[in-house]
Amino acid sequence: MVAATIGFGGGMLLIVVFPSFLSPSLIIPAYGVVQLASNISRMLFSLKYVRWKLLPKFLIGSVIGALFIGYGLSHISMDYVPAAIGLYILLNLWSSKFSALVGRYESYYVIGFLQTGLGLVVGATGPLALNVLTKQLKSKDEIIATSALFMTISHMAKIPVYLSVTASLFTELNLIIYMIIGSILGSFLGTKLRLRTNNDKMIKIIKVLLTLFAIKMIGGVMI
């Protein structure tokens, strides 16, 4: 519901509470399955707002990123990547000079490459696309619906990783099913709440939350 209302944040809440009632071996596959259900349902409930023309570039970048980064960088330390992403988001949101500079090179090929590729080895890459969509789209509904489409693709790229540990999912199959149902209901309720909110205010809220999330990413690496 949180993600459907403001565009992101639900996954962060989920991953924080999972360790309290799931075994370590189940956290990654369960998170992936529930996040897929969450993003797909969020997209479907706002299907008319999805900017499909942006999909081909993002998809091409995602495929290349998943193959290149998944194969070439999986053995390299990625400890400082979240801080770099956080800094990029802050500068892009609040520095007009930086935003204008990177805007010349910013493309959905690159965003797809980074969000999906880095998502295989580090967490919290979704705000990369959301940050660009917030700048380029004027409707909160288009921003959140298209972001859900992009995140669905990025999570699907992780399926080979999840498949290597899915055998343990059957030990908690009922719980997984309940969480999937809950995520779909949450997407439905969150979409209803979002559609009733003021467009300009919602976009400002997304920007503020992106800022706080970026600071958290930087702080998590530096502290």
Q: For the chain, give every domain's residue range.
A: 2-222
For residue 181, how far is the Cα from the chain centroid?
Answer: 20
CB atoms within 10 A of CB 42: 30
Mean pLDDT of 182-195: 91
- CA pair distance 141, 50, nearest whole angstrom: 8
Mean pLDDT, residues 36-63: 94
Residue given tokens 């559609």 in the structure block:
195
Mean pLDDT, rounded, of the chain:
83
Query: For residue 165, is pLDDT > 80?
Result: no
Name the strand (E) or helix (H) holding 63.
helix 55-72
Q: What is the pLDDT of residues 134-153, one digit of tens each?
A: 888 989 999 999 999 999 99
33 torsion bin: left (phi>0), alpha (psi -120 to 50), beta (else): alpha
- Most confident listed range (51-60, 106-115, 167-176, 205-214): 51-60
Largest Cα–Cα separation, the chain: 53
| CA-only gyration radius of the chain, Å | 17
Whether the pLDDT of residue 220 is over 60: the answer is yes
pLDDT at 153: 93
pTM for this predicted structure: 0.82
Calculate the CA 46 to chain-centre distance.
Answer: 16
| CB neighbourhood size of 191 (10 A) | 23
Q: Mean per-residue pLDDT for 116-141? A: 83
Contact by Cβ (8 Å): 69, 118: yes
Specify whether the CB–CB gap between 165 and 28 falls below 8 A: yes
Tokens of 157: 């790229």
- pLDDT exceeds cutoff 70 at 17: yes
